[in-house]
Amino acid sequence: MNLVSVLEAIMLERNVTRAAKSLGLGQPAVSNALRRARGVTRDELFIKVPGGVRPTTHMLAIWPDLRNALTQIRETISPQSYDPRSDHSTFRVAITDSLAPSVIPRLVTKLRGAAPAARMNFSIHSNMNSLNAIERGSLDCAVGTFPALPPEIHVRPLSKDRYVCVMRRGHTLSNRLSFESFLSAAHVLVTPTEQGLGHVESWLRLRGETRDIAIIVNSFADALRIVAQSDLLACIPTIVFKTHEKAVAAKTRLVTQELPFDTGEMLFRMIWHERSHSSPAHAWLRALIADVCTEGL
C-alpha cells in the first residue's frame, strides 16, 4: 500500500520532491520507495526529464489499475459521513478562463470557511488537458464547455453564457455592427491555452467565414485593455466583461454590441471521473463548486 501511494504521488506530481511534500515525507524516503517499486516491477517506472520525471510505458499501462485499486481501498476504509472541518485533502480543480476570475475568489473564501485545513490547486481548463488529467487521476474535476465526453465521465450542468462584441467608446462600429463590418474589422483573439479557436471563431470557420485576427493573447483582461486603447474588437463572454468592467472599463472606455449572428449559448458543465463519484469528500467539493458557479443566476 505504501509503495502504491508513493507511485500515485509521483504520477500526480511528476516530480519526486513535490511528491514527497504531498505525502509529508522526506525526499530520501520517497526515492527509496521508488527504488523498491522498481525492483518489484523490474521497470524504471519514471524517467528523469527537465523539471521532474515522466512515467514509462509500463507505468502508464499499470496506472489505471493502481489508481482504481487505491480508490476502492480508500472508499472501503473511509467513513461514509464527511466532516470538511477536519479534512486535510488537496483538491485539484480546473476552471475555464472565462469563469475563473469570478469563481475562484468566491470558491476559496467558501472553502477556507468550511474546510480550513483543506488545500486546493487550481489550473486553467482546456478540453483536452482537463479530460486527460481527469482520466489519469491528476485532476478531481473540471468546469468548462465540453463537446463530447467518454461514458466513464460524469457531468453536471452549471450555467449558461453568451458572447458579446467589445470595443472602445466612440468606435465607428459602436452604434451599428453588421456581419460584414464585423468580419472586416481587426480583432483580438483570446486563446488562454493556445489550443482551439474559441466559441466564436469555431462558429465562423464552420460556415466558411473568416475575420481579421490582428492580435492573439491568452488573457481576456489583456484583450480588454488592448481594445480600450485601440480600434480593435474582441468577442468576450458577458460574465468576463462584467467581472473586469470596473477595473478595465474604467471611465466608460468600453462598450458592448450584440454579435450580428447567433452562435448560441455556451453551457458550462462540471465533469468528474466515475472512480471519485461515490467519494463523500469529492461529492462535497462538487456541491460547493456548483453553488458558487450558480450563485446569482
Q: Give the whole-angstrom CA distance, residue 260 versus residue 280.
A: 46
- Predicted confidence at residue 261, as pLDDT, reads 93
pLDDT band at 264 (very low <50, low <70, confident <90, very high): confident
Give me the mean pLDDT over the 282-293 stretch: 92
Task: Give the CATH number of the domain where residue 191 resides.
Answer: 3.40.190.10
Determine, yes or no, domain membership for 13. yes
- Predicted confidence at residue 192, as pLDDT, reads 67
Give me the mean pLDDT over the 93-119 stretch: 92
- Predicted confidence at residue 199, as pLDDT, reads 82
- Predicted confidence at residue 256, as pLDDT, reads 92
Alpha-carbon distance values, 225 to 140, 229, 291 (Å): 33, 7, 31
Determine, yes or no, domain membership for 87. no
Q: Dump pLDDT digits (tens) for 227-248.
A: 989 999 999 999 888 887 666 6
pLDDT reading at 53 higher than 80:
yes
Determine, yes or no, domain membership for 120. no
pLDDT reading at 158 higher than 80:
yes
Determine, yes or no, domain membership for 98. no
pTM: 0.71
Name the nearest CA neighbour of 129 among 110, 112, 111, 144.
144
Mean predicted lDDT score pLDDT of the chain:
86
pLDDT reading at 78 higher than 90:
no
Determine, yes or no, domain membership for 96. no
**What is the DSSP track for 175-208?**
S---HHHHHHSEEEEE-TTS-S--HHHHHHHHTT
Give me the mean pLDDT over the 34-41 stretch: 91
Q: At what angle do helices 100-114 and 238-248 cross, to 10 degrees?
A: 90
Domain residue limits at 174? 163-258
Determine, yes or no, domain membership for 178. yes
Task: Give the CATH number of the domain where residue 3 resides.
Answer: 1.10.10.10
Determine, yes or no, domain membership for 197. yes
Q: Dump pLDDT digits (tens) for 196-228.
A: 667 898 889 889 998 999 999 988 888 998 998
- Predicted confidence at residue 70, as pLDDT, reads 79
Percent of the chain predicted with pLDDT > 90: 43
pLDDT reading at 75 higher than 80:
no
Name the nearest CA neighbour of 102 among 230, 233, 234, 246.
246
- Predicted confidence at residue 137, as pLDDT, reads 81
Number of domains in the chain: 2
**For residue 31, what are the contacts with CB-CB under 8 A and spacing of at least 6?**
16
Determine, yes or no, domain membership for 253. yes
- Predicted confidence at residue 194, as pLDDT, reads 55
pLDDT band at 252 (very low <50, low <70, confident <90, very high): low
- Predicted confidence at residue 104, as pLDDT, reads 92
Which is more confident, 103 or 128?
103
- Predicted confidence at residue 289, as pLDDT, reads 94
Asked which of 258, 276, 291 is the last residue of a domain, the reply is 258
pLDDT band at 195 (very low <50, low <70, confident <90, very high): low
Alpha-carbon distance values, 8 to 33, 46, 73 (Å): 12, 12, 14
Give me the mean pLDDT over the 20-43 stretch: 88
- Predicted confidence at residue 150, as pLDDT, reads 82
Asked which of 44, 77, 110 is the last residue of a domain, the reply is 77
pLDDT reading at 296 higher than 60:
no
- Predicted confidence at residue 189, as pLDDT, reads 92
pLDDT band at 91 (very low <50, low <70, confident <90, very high): very high
> Using an 8 Å Cβ cutoff, are 253 and 174 in contact?
no
